[in-house]
Amino acid sequence: MKNLNGKRSFLWLAVGVICGMCMSYFWPHEPAFAVATDRDGDRFAITTVPTRSGNAEGVFVLDFLTGRLQGAVLNSRTGKFTHAYFRNLAADFSVDPTAKPHYVIVSGDVNLPAQGRAQFADGGLYVAEMSSGMVICYAFSFVFNTTPGAPQQLLPMDKFQFRQAQ
């Protein structure tokens, strides 16, 4: 009797594994997209931003001490950084960089339509600053090119006030 129960348990286990494999094969597959953001205390933050499908992400570094945001996109064919971007956030937020502004940065999908000849990347940057109480969305133009281009300014798309300025 004990041996028969062991065989049934194994049979049910095998049926469960086979059913699970069949379900996972027919279940709709969704790709996982991940962006990363990290910071080093009150000195700088780094984040990645999607550019276009099939291309490498852009990487952006926000220097809290100068209020400067700089980034680049690695060319997936040449393995070199061919697109460079920059922005003076201290001027955008009207803060004094020597007064130690408190920035927060994240990236996200924006999927903006082309404006004239400018084709935007799929992702954008959202930067908030505590003393001004503002959040600004930045976008950047991205056209796949294997030759390095001149650095371009990040474009502020819109902003909103999340608290009163101090």
Position 109 scores a pLDDT of 87
> Residue 143 — pLDDT band, cuts 50, 70, 90?
confident
Which pLDDT does position 13 carry in this prediction?
A: 83
Tokens representing 150 are: 């001149």
Strand 81-88 and strand 152-153: pairing? Answer: parallel
Helix (H, G, I), strand (E, B) or coil at 140: coil
- How many residues in the chain? 166
Do the beta carbons of residue 95 and residue 103 sit within 8 Å? Answer: no
Does residue 93 carry a pLDDT above 60? yes
User: First vs last Cα of the chain: how many Å apart?
Assistant: 79
pTM of the model: 0.76
* pLDDT at residue 4 in the model: 57
Reported as a single tens digit per residue, the pLDDT across 9-31 is 888 888 888 888 888 777 777 66
Share of the chain above pLDDT 70, in %: 92
Question: Under a CB-based contact definition with an 8 Å cutoff, are residues 151 and 81 in contact?
Answer: no
Please give the pLDDT value at position 105. 93
In tens, the pLDDT along 36-82 reads 778 877 889 999 998 877 778 889 999 988 899 999 998 888 888 88
* Pick from 34, 86, 89: nearest CA to 57: 34
State yes or no: pLDDT of 2 exceeds 60.
no
pLDDT level of residue 7 (50, 70, 90 thresholds): low
| DSSP code per residue over 151-164 | -EEPEEEEEEESS-
- Give the pLDDT of residue 87: 96
Residue 53 CA, distance from chain mean position: 13
